[in-house]
Amino acid sequence: MSETVAKDAKTGMEFLPIDTLCVNTIRTLSMDAVQKANSGHPGAPMGLAPVAYTIFNRQMTYDPADPTWFNRDRFVLSNGHASMLIYSVLHLIGVKPIDGKRPVTLDEIKRFRQLDSATPGHPEYHLTSGVETTTGPLGQGIGNAVGMAIAQKWLAANYAKPGYENLFDHNIYAICGDGCLMEGIASEAASLAGHLQLDNLCLLYDDNSITIDGRTTLAFTEDVGARFAAYHWNVLRVSDGTDLSSVSAAIDSFKKTKGRPTIVIVKGIIGFGAPHKADTEHAHGEPLGDEEIRGAKRSYGWPENESFLIPAGVYEHFQANIGKHGAAAHATWKTKFADYKAKFPELAAQIEQIQGNKLPADWEKSVPVFPADPKGMATRDSSGKVLNAIAKAVPWMVGGSADLAKSNKSKLAFEGAGDFQAASPAGRNVNFGVREHAMGSICNGMALSGLRSFAAGFLIFSDYGRAAIRLASIIEKPVIYVFTHDSIGVGEDGPTHQPIEQIASLRAIPGLIVLRPGDANEVSEAYRIAMLQTHHPVILALSRQAVPTYDRTKYGAVSGVAKGGYIFGDAAGGKPDVILVATGTELMLAVEAYEKLTAEGVKARVVSLPSWELFEMQPQAYRDSVLPPAVTARVCVEMLSAFGWERYAGNTGTIIGMKSFGASAPLKDLMVRFGFSAEIVYQAAKAQLAKK
């Protein structure tokens, strides 16, 4: 005798357990959105739906009514191609719009991957409410999650007081896939996380054995669990990713584990429920097709011709769980924080400033002013002094170097700064080790948690972290990159360590501000500019070799750096016949040539141009006042690639720059070999004047 199955009178659906109903709603929303867009990845969201449901509805402390609540648990989708997973969940839990970010409505899900929708192809932090970081380039989310975990540990160590520990006790959850773990950044970040014993970090690995090209056996056969055990992680396994109880039990185990981050290796089936494309690369990288979707829906007990269906009770179930629990936890936190504020007003004020992306009052008074000195100092040396002064005034400025802190002068050395280690999480110096790529991504995660993060290294190795630098610009977070050894001035280390094309390529990144200061006071001003940014990351390109500290009663006011370029030295009457333009250490070459030309009665002007980006932001009238279009006799000098300088040299101007890689030799010999001297700038200016 056949069993009678109850059905919903409206939809004809079988009455499924509410957990199953919610999981299948995530799956069907995801496949329907991808199908409607005719673009995207349905397989990973279908396979991961039980994991995401368990994290959000059973484990996370999160208030959908305020997705920026300071002590919320964070969720990072490192395999960002599975974006419909997070969009489906954010819609079902009812995340509210905040700070100009848009909510994921059902209409927005129907507009997946369409122009100006809140559901782009990969999650975008600045656009969609509830998205904690922009992901897509695989492995970046793992680095971001490590940065968020560091930030939580640091905040707890510096601000939690007895009885108030739960004000700063959130966890970080991240989902990743095979592709994420193949990327080198994942290894870098995981290694550091294990060293730092970040037991607030739970990484859930979707072990589904599929990439775009096919089975992972084509290229990825390592024992991931053994690898992470070697990193000093707690390794857990869930053999059936559809078993909600097993997934939840693994997360419970994570919460009890001390002294190690946790990876949960979840054996999943990509495209779960799709009858033919399941467990194949096709379910990963392209829409399923109408026939496959109907088959999948039949396997779920779903009306196969319904699209974007959200059955009765699903919204209510999420609201009764994550919504109710999150609201209660948030309300308790606010009450507790009010009590904390009464007892620790200075610390509470700092937390509010961190939350509001503000800086302490009078912080700018800490910025040093350097006396004129013809011998001067390397800009990396003045940078170290300025960085320490500002960081002392801004208690939540935290960062470090990829192993070269002594050389790039990025160590915070004032009393109490300390090193961030497992045993000393209040420290301000993060020792990233030789991990430039992870360093950038981790600093992005720290910035996303409210800290003013900085990353340091040699400019040549910005190549190793370029993807993370680019993402800092996309997420619009003001991470500061302190890059030294900024030209062939590196000298004997040779072409492998001498940056040539790096600045040109960094200038090409939209939203990134590059500053190459020419003396100690330009360094101070560059830091002031960097600290005032709220949406732009900043590169400081700094020298190994000494440059004079200029007398500002004789030369242009250093405040001109804020405009990107300014008149440093001018002709009498302000009407030059020739203009010398320089950045960084080459400013001294232009100044020497200018002084010689002026002594001869030549009407010359020197323009310091430390930031092309800031200069281009100025009104045309200002730019024309600095570089008058009528003055075509121009010499531009920079000990880097000449690429792009045509915009300032014009069609007839002279560009003195690098047209090849450098060489291994003392700096003086390199300057002669590659043609960088005040005399050469002077001769180029005379040649320009001769054309008139």
Residue 690 pLDDT greater than 90, yes or no = yes
d(CA 418, CA 677): 42
Q: In the annotation, is 436 catalytic?
A: yes
pLDDT score of 14: 63
Confirm whether 18-327 and 363-548 share one CATH topology: yes
Domain locations in the chain as residue ranges: 18-327, 363-548, 562-690
pLDDT band of residue 217 (cuts 50, 70, 90) is confident
The sign of the torsion formed by the CA atoms of 168, 169, 170, 171 equals positive
Comparing 6-15, 218-227, 474-483, 531-540, the range with the smallest average pLDDT is 6-15
How would DSSP label each residue in 434-445?
S-HHHHHHHHHH
Q: Give the C-alpha distances (Å, rounded to integers) separating 90 from 118, 315, 326.
A: 11, 11, 14
pLDDT score of 28: 97
Answer yes or no: pTM beyond 0.85. yes
Q: What is the pLDDT of residues 167-176, one digit of tens each?
A: 999 999 999 9
Question: Average pLDDT for residues 35-48, to the nearest whole number?
Answer: 94
d(CA 379, CA 522): 9
pLDDT score of 420: 98
Instruction: Give the Cα-Cα-Cα angle 475, 479, 484 (nearest 5 degrees).
Output: 135
- Name the residue with tokens 């009306």: 303
pLDDT score of 40: 94
pLDDT band of residue 284 (cuts 50, 70, 90) is low
188, 292, 436, 592: the catalytic one is 436
More confident residue, 215 or 280: 215
Q: What is the pLDDT of residues 79-121, one digit of tens each?
A: 999 999 999 999 999 999 999 999 999 999 999 999 999 999 9
Classify 363-548 by CATH class.
alpha beta
pLDDT band of residue 2 (cuts 50, 70, 90) is very low
Q: What is the pLDDT of residues 333-359, one digit of tens each?
A: 999 999 999 999 999 999 999 999 999
Coil, strand or helix at 681: helix
CATH code, residues 18-327: 3.40.50.970
The dihedral over CA atoms of 575, 577, 581, 587, expressed in degrees to the nearest 10, equals: -80
Question: Average pLDDT for residues 186-210, to the nearest whole number?
Answer: 95
pLDDT band of residue 279 (cuts 50, 70, 90) is very low
pLDDT band of residue 209 (cuts 50, 70, 90) is confident
Question: Please, how many CA atoms are within 13 Å of residue 224, restricted to the half-sphere of its CB?
Answer: 29
pLDDT score of 278: 45
pLDDT score of 214: 77
pLDDT score of 285: 63
Question: Please, how many CA atoms are within 13 Å of residue 201, restricted to the half-sphere of its CB?
Answer: 35
Give the 3-state secondary structure of 553-610: CCCCCHHHHHHCCEEEECCHHHCCCEEEEECHHHHHHHHHHHHHHHHCCCCEEEEECC
d(CA 104, CA 677): 59
d(CA 64, CA 20): 22
Note whether 444 and 145 are within 8 A (CB).
Answer: no
Averaged pLDDT of the chain: 95
Both tokens assigned to 129: 């409410």
Task: Identify the DSSP state of 460.
Answer: G
Q: What is the pLDDT of residues 310-332, one digit of tens each?
A: 999 999 999 999 999 999 999 99
pLDDT band of residue 566 (cuts 50, 70, 90) is very high
Residues forming a β-bridge with 421: 424
Q: What is the pLDDT of residues 495-541, one digit of tens each?
A: 999 999 999 999 999 999 999 999 999 999 999 999 999 999 999 99
Note whether 300 and 59 are within 8 A (CB).
Answer: no
Q: Which CATH architecture has domain 562-690?
A: 3-Layer(aba) Sandwich (3.40)
pLDDT band of residue 1 (cuts 50, 70, 90) is very low
Question: Average pLDDT for residues 8-35, to the nearest whole number?
Answer: 86
